[in-house]
Amino acid sequence: MPKNKNDILQGTLALLVLKAIAAQGRMHGYAITAHIQRVSADLLRVEEGSLYPALHRMAQDGWLRAEWGTTEKNRQARFYTITAAGRKQLALEEESWTRLRDGVQRVLRYA
Amino acid sequence: MSWFARIRNVIRPNGLSDDLDRELSFHIAERIDDLVAHGMTPDAARREARRQFGNYGLQKEYTRERDVFRWLETLLGDLRYALRTLRASPAFALVAILSLALGIGANTAIFSLINAVMLKSLPVSHPEELMVVVRDSSKTATNPIWEYVRDHQDVFSGTFAYSPTQFNLASRGQVRNVYANWVSGAYFSTLGVRAVLGRTLLPADDVRGCPAVAAISSSFWQTEYGGSDAVIGRTVALDGHQFQIVGVIDPAFFGLDVGAHAQIYTPLCAQTIMNGDDKWIDARSTWYLHIVGRPKPGITPAQASARLQMLMPGLVEATLPPNWPPDAAARYQNARMEVASVATGFSDLRTTYRKALFVLMTVVGIVLLIACANVANLLLARATKRQHEIAVRLALGARPARLIRQLLTESVLLALMGAAIGVVFAIWGSHLLLHLMSTSGDAVALDLSLDLPVLAFTAGVAVATGVLFGLAPAWRAARVAPHNAMKSQARGVADGHSRFSVGKALVVAQIALSLLLVAGAVLLLGSWRRLATVDPGFKRDHVLLLAADMRSGNENASPEQRSSLRRQLLDRLRAVPGVRMASASELTPISGAGWNNDIKADGYAPASRDDGLVWMNEVSDGYFSTMGTALITGRDFNTSDVPGSAKVAIVNEALARKVFDTRSPIGQHIQVANGKDYGPPIEIVGVVGNAKYESMRETPQPIAYISMAQDTDPGLSVKVEIRTVGPTTAIIPSIKSAVAEVAPRASLDFTTLDRQVAESLRLPRTLATLAGFFGVLALLLATIGLYGIMSYTVARRRNEIGVRIALGARQSRVVRMVMGEVGLIVGLGVGIGILLTLGLTRLVSVFLYGVAPSDPTTMVLSAVMLAGVAFAAAMLPAWRAAGLDPVTALREN
């Protein structure tokens, strides 16, 4: 399968999801994809195929809490909120992302 | 997710499905709304949302597998699926399960035997603490040593000595032996074994001059006394002496000897009552006791050994046998004292059968491997049939790992079902084995109940086999390229068959392994046959052996009276109608008993003390003619040999050759060692042919026979050989009444020389029988494997063969083509098998007799036999190929 330009780089999905939920508070899966897509001005698109496994894993790891709730359209949805452990993880991931980005930039500039 | 939620998910798998379904369908619903909002029709929006979402089911699966407990749910699903597929092809399932059941059953049977003989702990409290005192690498001690250790040791919180023995329950007539133990006072208290009725034996029972008391086992209580409470205080006759029963022992306890369950326990001191003197109690060179102790808390085995070693100087002083030659005495003084674990008890079986059980375990392991290869081949063939299904599933996005897991579940399920049936086979098998190991006179009793280690072993073997035979087919099936697999279902595509598939490699391995087993079986069967038919130097048929114990009622007889009693017995027996000849002796050959001594003679210097050892026997006149051993020169013992006349002996050819070389031994003298010194010179008056003494396996051993009539201290326990005219056992009633005329209270034990020899061969017989059985089984399994793979190959090549026949290939050409392939498989298998056999049959060399482990005749014979059976099995598919109707074959596709 040819790689999509706006596929999310492996390993950054957790960062994006945690960041989105940290910023927005309580979100369901669809809102997370929509949010990331919108905020990134369509540069990034979250594959549903990766999102739900990632959400469940993060819930298991205790970074997110999941609960059922009702949307404005009166639909049943599973809402995710970030936990304290999730915030700690987010800080870690942000830091490592910054380092990665700086590193890659330096290589691109000077190599 | 909370732990509670996870567990709930497993218990109610639908709960999780619902959650996921709801979450994912919510996602799709939102997407559809968006698309519609952007102007799509609801239908198109639904399709687009689905498309964007990808494989919905797979998505669900990925997500759900994140759950730790998810695998349990998958497993249940896989198991259900596996059961359904097995039900769909019952013939396949039956063949696979049955061959696995045979393999696993055989392994379980042998392992349960190994477990019972070598691994099981004694049924006493904390068996792992029990230590046996080992002196000079020997676990037996004299009573003086025991008394010294008992009175001076400070390492054991409890210690006791005991000796396994047998008692005759019958006061007269036919002997009825039971296993029994002489035990010291603290035996039961140290072991922590209780009485279920009455009391156990106590230290107060074991003092010199003690009354005759006995404790009995629960099984003895049931069989002899019907479990009646009134048994306490009754008496039981042991070797003709009355013992009062004081208690019945816990049914779980069988003594410390594995394989010989004790029925009666009597105090050590009661030996005085049995023997009429303190001979055994005070004897410094009668080695018969095991000393066992339970170390005090905190004392390690090393510490216990060191503390016991410190007893040595005092112990030597108190217990050194007075008349020992200096080198033996020095060895006694320098011996090491130590302790060894005895958690699994004592067992003669262990030494006798250790190697045989190891060989059997290897053999059944190989049989299981061969069975595994068959099942793997069946699965491979079936996986090919299921290729289409698997290809479709792969195309739909199933991950290979997931498919492998599912196929493995199926094979492990097969193996577990095989194991379940195998356990039933094993229960029969192990009792059959016990039966093979036992003889009429010596029943081996083992606790073969299926305990945890045996069941764990079986389950482990089953799972390991399942993975072993399932992995190759599963791996291959899941690596199929979907488009190829789907294409091959299309019309007119000839199968690309690799020249040498995994399946064929498996059959080569099977043939190689079965050759190993067949060759091993041929070697063992041949050895047994040779052992059973080798000329022992006596004539086995028509000889009744009688062990007559005439002590009862003649306790106070003088040596002259005893001698005359033995004479009368022999004279009376010789007069019985149907008796051709009769003689008496101290020992009969191949009986398990032996008596050896050092001898010296003029002009003979043994290379070492052991080199001067010869076997001894004391025989009456007529012994050699009764046994059918040839008198080569000189004379037999006769009535002129009496206690007062010059001592005479007869030697066999091996002794004559060894001691006198080419000189004539007649008229020469030998002297027999007696402690430090040698006895008076004995004149050799005759030379007889070599005869087997201790075992059928031995090479001719030097034997010296001394005259029974010249014995100045004759015993009243005597062995009698009776050569009969008619059938041996038919004469027993008249022999019994004849003995009763001479000694009315005598105990009699009958066997035949033929049976005594046959019983000495039970180990080679058992091993050969089992090797033969497993060899045939291996051959059968390998043949089925070859037949299967060839049928399958022919079936897959129907098209090609049809084309060949249509183009004018003759039948013989087709048969040759198929058989050529068979030849390659069998040739490779036999080649590898011979290498394997040459490397491995050395392991059984101790069980071989008259044949080398690498015997070329055996190799050729086994290879020819195997190849013959293999070709015969392969002829059927070959003929089927040749008889193929090209029109039908081509039309089918």
**Do B29 and A75 count as a contact with CB atoms less than 8 A apart?**
yes
Helices then strands, each counted (H, E), chain B: 30, 23
Encoding tokens for residue B869? 């059976």
In a domain, A6, yes or no: no
In a domain, A2, yes or no: no
List chain A residues with CB under 8 Å of B34.
34
Q: What is the pLDDT of residue B814?
A: 85
Q: What is the pLDDT of residue B810?
A: 84
Question: Is the pLDDT confidence value at A6 over 80?
Answer: no
In a domain, B544, yes or no: no
User: Domain check: are B820 and B840 in the same one?
Assistant: yes
Domain boundary among B720, B745, B770: B745
Nearest to B59 among A28, A49, A77 (CB): A49
CA atoms within 13 A on the CB side of B193: 27
DSSP string across B624-642 = HHHHTPPEEEE----TT--
Determine contact: A28 vs chain B, CB below 8 A. yes
The residue ranking higher by pLDDT, B278 or A3, is B278
Distance from the Cα of B395 to chain A's closest Cα (Å) equals 14
Q: What is the pLDDT of residue B490?
A: 42
Find the closest chain A residue to B33 by CA distance.
Answer: A73
In a domain, A4, yes or no: no
User: Domain check: are B337 and B354 in the same one?
Assistant: no
Q: What is the pLDDT of residue B529?
A: 92
User: Domain check: are B112 and B142 in the same one?
Assistant: no
Residue closest to B700 by CA, chosen among B688, B708, B712? B688
What is the rounded CA–CA span in Å between residue B475 and residue B400? Answer: 8
How many domains are there within chain A? Answer: 1
**Do A30 and B24 count as a contact with CB atoms less than 8 A apart?**
no
Report the DSSP beta bridge partners of residue B674.
Answer: B677
Among all chains, which residue has been given the structure tokens 């099936």? B477
List chain A residues with CB under 8 Å of B35.
none
- pTM, rounded to two decimals: 0.73
Amino acid identity of residue B892, one-letter, is E
**Element housing B489 (H / E):** none
User: Domain check: are B330 and B372 in the same one?
Assistant: no
Produce one character per residue of B245-259: b if its CB has 16 or more CB atoms within 10 Å, e if not: bbbbbbeebbbbbbb
In a domain, B750, yes or no: no
User: Domain check: are B646 and B670 in the same one?
Assistant: yes
Distance from the Cα of A78 to chain B's closest Cα (Å) equals 6
DSSP string across B509-574 = HHHHHHHHHHHHHHHHHHHHHHHHHS--SS--TTEEEEEEE--TT-TT--HHHHHHHHHHHHHHHH
In a domain, A60, yes or no: yes
| B762-796 vs B90-114: helix crossing angle, rounded to 10 | 160
How many domains are there within chain B? Answer: 5
List chain A residues with CB under 8 Å of B62.
49, 52-53
What is the rounded CA–CA span in Å between residue B876 and residue B689? Answer: 57
What is the rounded CA–CA span in Å between residue B875 and residue B809? Answer: 18
B665: three-class secondary structure by DSSP: coil
Produce one character per residue of B709-741: b if its CB has 16 or more CB atoms within 10 Å, e if not: bbbeebebebbbbbbbeeebeebeeebeebbee
User: Domain check: are B677 and B723 in the same one?
Assistant: yes
Determine contact: A2 vs chain B, CB below 8 A. no
Of the residues B24, B28, B30, the best mutation for testing chain A's interface (the one with the most A CB atoms within 10 Å of its CB) is: B30
Q: What are phi and psi of A42, to 5 degrees?
A: 65, 5
Count other Cβ atoms within 10 Å, centred on residue A106: 10
Nearest to A53 among B19, B30, B63 (CB): B63
Determine contact: B5 vs chain A, CB below 8 A. no
CATH number of the domain that residue A40 is part of: 1.10.10.10
**Do B23 and A78 count as a contact with CB atoms less than 8 A apart?**
yes
List chain B residues with CB under 8 Å of A78.
19, 22-23, 26
**Element housing B243 (H / E):** strand B241-249
Determine contact: A75 vs chain B, CB below 8 A. yes
Nearest to B26 among A49, A53, A75 (CB): A75
In a domain, A26, yes or no: yes
User: Domain check: are B741 and B764 in the same one?
Assistant: no
In a domain, B780, yes or no: yes
Distance from the Cα of B5 to chain A's closest Cα (Å) equals 11
Find the closest chain A residue to B49 by CA distance.
Answer: A48
Q: What is the pLDDT of residue A9?
A: 64
Nearest to B63 among A28, A52, A75 (CB): A52
Domain region containing B644: 551-745
Q: Which residues of chain B are modeled with pLDDT < 50?
A: 1-8, 10-13, 489-497, 499
What is the rounded CA–CA span in Å between residue A70 and residue B30? Answer: 13
Beta B131-135 vs B337-341: how paired, if at all? antiparallel
In contact, B56 and A84? CB cutoff 8 Å: no
What is the rounded CA–CA span in Å between residue B834 and residue B827? Answer: 11
Beta B613-619 vs B703-707: how paired, if at all? parallel
DSSP state of B75: H
Distance from the Cα of A97 to chain B's closest Cα (Å) equals 25
Residue closest to B283 by CA, chosen among B117, B444, B405, B145? B145
Q: Nearest 5°: CA angle at B859, between B857 and B860?
A: 65
Determine contact: A86 vs chain B, CB below 8 A. no
What is the rounded CA–CA span in Å between residue B517 and residue B700? Answer: 32
Distance from the Cα of A111 to chain B's closest Cα (Å) equals 39
User: Domain check: are B136 and B271 in the same one?
Assistant: yes
A72: three-class secondary structure by DSSP: coil
Number of residues that make up chain B:
893
Query: Distance from CA of residue B447 to its chain's centroid?
Result: 14
Nearest to B24 among A52, A66, A76 (CB): A52
Q: Nearest 5°: CA angle at A52, between A50 and A53?
A: 70
Strands (DSSP E) found in chain A: 27-28, 64-70, 76-82
- Chain A, chain B: beta-carbon pairs less than 8 Å apart: 53
Residue B727 vs residues A96, B301, B580: alpha-carbon distances, Å:
98, 58, 12
Among all chains, which residue has been given the structure tokens 């050994």? B305
Among all chains, which residue has been given the structure tokens 């991931």? A93
Q: What is the pLDDT of residue B72?
A: 75
Determine contact: B27 vs chain A, CB below 8 A. yes
List chain A residues with CB under 8 Å of B1.
56, 59-60, 66
Determine contact: A77 vs chain B, CB below 8 A. yes
Kindly indicate whether the ipTM for this predicted assembly is greater than 0.90, answering yes or no. no
What is the rounded CA–CA span in Å between residue B405 and residue B189? Answer: 56
Distance from the Cα of B55 to chain A's closest Cα (Å) equals 9
Domain region containing A75: 13-110
In a domain, B546, yes or no: no
In a domain, B604, yes or no: yes
Q: What is the pLDDT of residue B194?
A: 93
B687: three-class secondary structure by DSSP: strand
In a domain, B545, yes or no: no
User: Domain check: are B485 and B370 in the same one?
Assistant: yes
Distance from the Cα of B28 to chain A's closest Cα (Å) equals 8
In a domain, B753, yes or no: no
Alpha helices in B179-250 (DSSP H): 187-191, 218-225
User: Domain check: are B221 and B286 in the same one?
Assistant: yes
In contact, B477 and B797? CB cutoff 8 Å: no
In a domain, B456, yes or no: yes
Q: What are phi and psi of B650, to 5 degrees?
A: -120, 135
Amino acid identity of residue B284, one-letter, is R
A10: three-class secondary structure by DSSP: coil
In a domain, A1, yes or no: no
DSSP state of B442: B
List chain B residues with CB under 8 Å of A49.
53-54, 59, 62
Mean pLDDT over A38-65 rounds to: 84
What is the rounded CA–CA span in Å between residue B708 and residue B723? Answer: 19
In contact, B325 and B676? CB cutoff 8 Å: yes
Residue B144 vs residues B279, B284, B285, B314: alpha-carbon distances, Å:
11, 6, 9, 12
What is the rounded CA–CA span in Å between residue B804 and residue B814? Answer: 8
Determine contact: B24 vs chain A, CB below 8 A. yes
Find the closest chain B residue to A55 by CA distance.
Answer: B63
